Every structure is written in C-alpha cells, then in structure tokens.
Amino acid sequence: MAANTNRIVIIGATSRIAEECARLWVAEAPVDITLVGRNREKLQRVADDLAVRSPASTISVREADFHDPAIIAALADELSGQKPVHIVLIAHGSLPDQQECQADLLKAKEALDINGVSPALFAEAFAGHMERRNMGSLILIGSVAGDRGRKSNYVYGAAKGLVTRYAQGLQHRLAKTGVTVSLVKPGPTDTPMTAELKAAGKGGGLADPAAVAKTIVQGAAKGRATIYAPGKWTLIMLIIRHLPRFIFNKMNI
C-alpha cells in the first residue's frame, strides 16, 4: 500500500448508505479502509464485497460497542494513533417507532442514544486527532428530521437535532484548521431502516441509496458544511423550518 493512500474509517459500515459510500471510495483509488460495526458477520460481508471491487485496497473490520465512551475513545486512539485518518464517516443509527418511544422510556432513551449521543461521541473522539494533525474530513450523517420536530417522529428528530447542533459547534471549533466537518441530512432513503415504510405502502418517494452516497462523497470532497441528499430537501426543509406555527400545527406530518 502506497504511503499516500487515503485511510478511511466508517462507523456503522453495514448501513446501506455507508456501504455505497465505501464502494465509491474504493472505485476512485486503492484505500486503507476500516469498517466498524456491531455485527462482525455483516461487516465481513461488506468487506468481502469491497475486496472484490478493489483488490489493491486494504480492508479490515472492527466490532465495537457503540454506547461505551471508553471503548469509543480507545478505538479512535488506536486507529488514529500511528497514522493519520483522512476520512471518517459516522453513519450508524436506527429508525424507532414513535408510538413505542412514547409508551416506553427505555426505547426512547435507546433511540436518543444510538441516533444522537453515540454519533457525537464518535465524532468527538476522532476530531481531536484530526485537529492535532491539522487535516482530515469528518462526515456526520444526520437527517432532515432534525430540522424541525414533527409529531410523527420527534424522538428520532430530537436525536438528529442533537447531531445538527453538535456538528455546527464542531465546525465552528475547527473553522481555522485543516479539518473539514460535513453534516449530511438525507431525506427518506430506500434502506433497511425504512423497510417498514415500504411494507406499509409509504415507500414511493424513497431515494436511491447509491445516489445519496454519490451526493455525500462529492459534497464532502468539496468541503461542504451541510449536504442535503437528495438536494431537493434543501428547499423542502427551508419551507418547513419557516412555516408559521399556526399553519404547521394543522399539518399531519
């Protein structure tokens, strides 16, 4: 592996969007990529697919606890300690059932942790290493759901709102460094997370994950601070954020 090969870490590498991003990166050039997830078997499936696509790349997998701050910090220290990491993509999460979160505080806590707190902790753990090296691209996947709380998914939206405010603060902190932080806000995408929507006949407008990944990879390469994917959500969410409350409260969304 050449000395100038990009080193990439993907947290939540078994997510469909993350997998599509990885495919784009290995298609560009050989990379040294570490896939981090909670299920080794699923990680290995992704790794095997990438190895076929890019035999010259170095691909490794790491199983990790996504909730333990000590484990998260140790993983970032290990992966960043000897050589710089050029790209970190933080892509994990789950789509909880809003009604279940309302009825069960444990489920609400789990949804807030995995979708909000955990991504922020991973970002914080890697950001320090990138800042000291004065280089790197940190990509956080949030959601359009974080732009305004809606009754249909406000627990999930609150977690993604946390990611949004966290990313904005991190961007401010690193503004005068060589580190770029990109916050990605996908709209509803055709992934396993949205399988129940499709089963209920509500998946007609789901975006193609490969197209979403292309928007992410291209936007992050340009150092864009906020990436709506697909781009149409930039206008949609601008309108939703600025709707007067008396109109918004009449909407069944």
> What pLDDT, in 10s, does the model give residues 97-147?
999 999 999 999 999 999 999 999 999 999 999 999 999 999 999 999 999
Is residue 222's pLDDT more than 60?
A: yes
Inter-residue contact 147 to 164 (CB < 8 Å): yes
Q: How far apart are CA 132 and CA 85, in angstroms?
A: 12
Could you tell me the two tokens for 22?
A: 């990885």
Judged against a pLDDT cut of 80, whether residue 154 lies above it is answered with yes
In degrees, to the nearest 5, what angle opens at C-alpha 111 toward C-alphas 109 and 116? 100
Model confidence band, residue 196 (pLDDT cutoffs 50, 70, 90) = low
- What integer is the mean pLDDT of 190-204? 65
Which tokens is 154 given? 């406000």
Q: How far apart are CA 130 and CA 134, in angstroms?
A: 6
pLDDT value, residue 84: 94
Domain ranges of the chain: 7-248
Number of Cβ within 10 Å of residue 4's Cβ equals 7
Q: How far is CA 148 from CA 117, 118, 168, 237, in A?
A: 18, 21, 16, 8
Between CA 223 and CA 139 the distance in angstroms is: 10
Distance CA 32, CA 91 (A): 18
Residue 148: predicted pLDDT: 97
The highest-level CATH class for domain 7-248 is: alpha beta
pLDDT above 90 covers a percentage of the chain that reads 90
In the predicted model, what is the mean pLDDT of residues 215-236?
97
